[in-house]
Amino acid sequence: MTGKLRLATTSLAGCFGCHTSFLDIDERIIPLLERVSFDRSPLTDVKHAGACDVGLIEGGVCNEENLHVLREFRAGCRTLVAVGACAITGGLPAQRNRFDVGALLHDVYVAEPGLTRRGVPDDVELPRLFDRVRPVHEFVKVDYFLPGCPPPADAFWAFLTALLDGREPALPKELLRYD
């Protein structure tokens, strides 16, 4: 890809750490902005991505809303990048996968002393939880994976500049993180 790249980002079930790490490119964001226009991202507060060249998605898929956002995002992105452990493997949110979701909700909202003891919330506005948190590639085609928890800022920089320069992204070993 050459020229001004249209970039979008979104987060599903996760901690938002990958977005924070991306912003840790610090002053390098200025030359990036000369070559990139942002669509959906925390920098723009756009809620629904339009057509874009590259979409960076972090977080696993844990509910119906996550799946809807993921599919809408994939449909608008020419290139989709799964960013971080949560998007690639389910990460920390997937720690609940070994437990029954119904039992967890009962324990939190009914059995244990806590907020209300009024029962498990069941408002129609709340997205239905899936039994398991799953990585994004189980639902849509992913073009690239940027591993780490979170990937370091230098990995984002190297990846995006490679795309902007028309090169296939290939990160040096020291920028690949599998933690």
Tokens 């994976």 belong to residue: 145
Concatenated DSSP letters for the chain? Answer: --SSEEEEEEE-BS-SHHHHHHHTTGGGHHHHHTTEEE-SSTTTT-SS--SEEEEEEESBEEEHHHHHHHHHHHHHEEEEEEEHHHHHH-TGGGGGGGS-HHHHHHIIIIISSSS--S-S---TTSPPEEEEEE-GGGTS--SEEE-SSSPPHHHHHHHHHHHHTTPPP---GGG----
Query: Model pTM?
Result: 0.89
| Range 5-95+129-175 classified under CATH 3.40.50.700 | yes
- 97 is written with which tokens? 């996968």
The residue among 168, 1, 153, 165 whose CA lies nearest residue 83 is 153
Give residue-wise pLDDT tens across range 15-62: 888 988 998 999 998 999 899 988 766 666 666 777 999 999 999 999
Give residue-wise pLDDT tens across range 141-164: 999 999 999 999 999 999 999 988
State yes or no: pLDDT of 1 exceeds 50. no
Q: Positive or negative, the Cα torsion across 10, 13, 74, 57?
A: positive
> Once rounded to an integer, what is the mean pLDDT over residues 124-133?
95
> Once rounded to an integer, what is the mean pLDDT over residues 122-135?
94
Q: Within 10 A of 100 (CB to CB), how many other CB atoms are there?
A: 11
Say how far apart CA 15 and CA 60 lie, in whole Å.
10
Strand order of the β-sheet with 52-58 is 36-38, 5-11, 52-58, 77-83, 144-146
What does residue 56 show for φ and ψ, rounded to 5 degrees?
A: -105, 120
